[in-house]
Amino acid sequence: MGFLRRRLVTAALTANALRPPQGPRSGAYAFPAGLLTGELAPQLLGLTVADTVISVLRRKAGWPGLAVAAATSYGLVRLIRASRGVRVLVDDVVTHDLGEQLAAELDPVTPEELATPWHQLVTPFRRSDPRVRVDRDLRYSDAGGRGLLDIYRPADRELTNAPVLVQVHGGGWVLGSKNEQGIPLMNQLAAHGWVCVAANYRLAPRDPWPAQIIDVKRTLAWVKEHIADYGGDPSYVVITGGSAGGHLAALAALTPGDPTFQPGFEDADTSVRAAVPHYGVYDIAASSGLRSALWIRDNFFGPKVMKHTWQETPEVFEQASPLLRITPDAPDFLVIHGAGDSLVSVEQARVFVERLRAVSRNTVVYAELPGAQHAFDLFASIRSAHVVRAIERYLTWHHRHWQAGLVGQ
């Protein structure tokens, strides 16, 4: 492939990351390339510059190719600037949404938190962290090979009554595993004294809805019963997840003790103190009328996950919709969504947050990230590192205030 063709490919990828299409089908096609380009923009910029210099020295770079390379480099710089801007944006949002009195107790932002984590960009797909040990494939359920979870803890010390995070993976309810999402966040929290739990759950269509939320509830019940053996505090559990995992995390947080989702363990405590869903699907019933929600309901969740149509069982869709399960007793929420999400429209998060703020008695924080694509935190990047640090800061504050009886009760 010649220099001009290589630069045209990179230019197309950059344009897709800057302005991804938002239609249901075109957005799904744009998502993978947009995610990789947006989060790996520094590496792609370095390759573009290196390729341009080498091609010029070899006299294989014509003016058209150089013009495209220059325009592409400008676009990649814009993506990098948007990622770096997250470091201030999320902290400002948390401070604003908590209010002056509560936000005054947030830990100060350190120079480390503001610094761009360039060293992480060398190995963005690395999963292991020398600061963290992982107990793998512990069984929480007898539901075949999917009833397994992993526990992340500090490698250098034992814990007692440590705060607990439960991570729910995404994958459209039909694929994915505990080894794929939330790794940067769990490594960061575990290294700083948390116990983090990542669980598999049964997947559709082999196991249709509500198998997925039942397994998430079983995970919470297992955590409440067993996590003290691993140094965790069963009385302080928060839940997080992305995409389908964001939907399941939000739904679990809003439905503690719901017997429909706890068959055979109706009396188990499945409550959480806070929820941090990322780019979640909140309007399964499409009650908002959003086009994206209607498409997910009628073209994906209904036929592939629930194995029913809206017309046949509307009440089941409503039970599965976090937007319609909000009560005044909803726990504290930190909702995160990318404004450039081409897979799950940011409008779903906006509607969900608006409803939470209107009904819930507890705190609601909403961080909408400019330029961020779906699954932006799948691996280490500038944006994901800043978001992880902001979540850690928020959860550290939340845990301290919960201990003081001020939030999450």
Known catalytic residues are 243, 341, 374
Radius of gyration of the chain from its Cα atoms, rounded to whole angstroms: 22
Per DSSP, the residues of 44-82 read HHHHHHHHHHHHHHTT---HHHHHHHHHHHHHHHHHHHH
Asked whether the beta carbons of 108 and 66 are under 8 A apart, the reply is: no
Q: Where are the alpha helices (H) located in 99-235, listed in sequence order?
A: 100-103, 111-114, 183-191, 211-226
Asked whether the beta carbons of 293 and 283 are under 8 A apart, the reply is: yes
Q: How buried is 226 (Cβ within 10 angstroms: 0-12 exposed, 13-18 middle, 19+ buried)?
A: middle
Q: Compute the distance between CA of residue 111 and CA of residue 361 in angstroms, rounded to an integer.
A: 34
Q: Strand 162-168 relative to strand 232-242: parallel, antiparallel, unpaired?
A: parallel
Asked whether the beta carbons of 43 and 80 are under 8 A apart, the reply is: no
Q: Compute the distance between CA of residue 20 and CA of residue 31 in angstroms, rounded to an integer.
A: 8
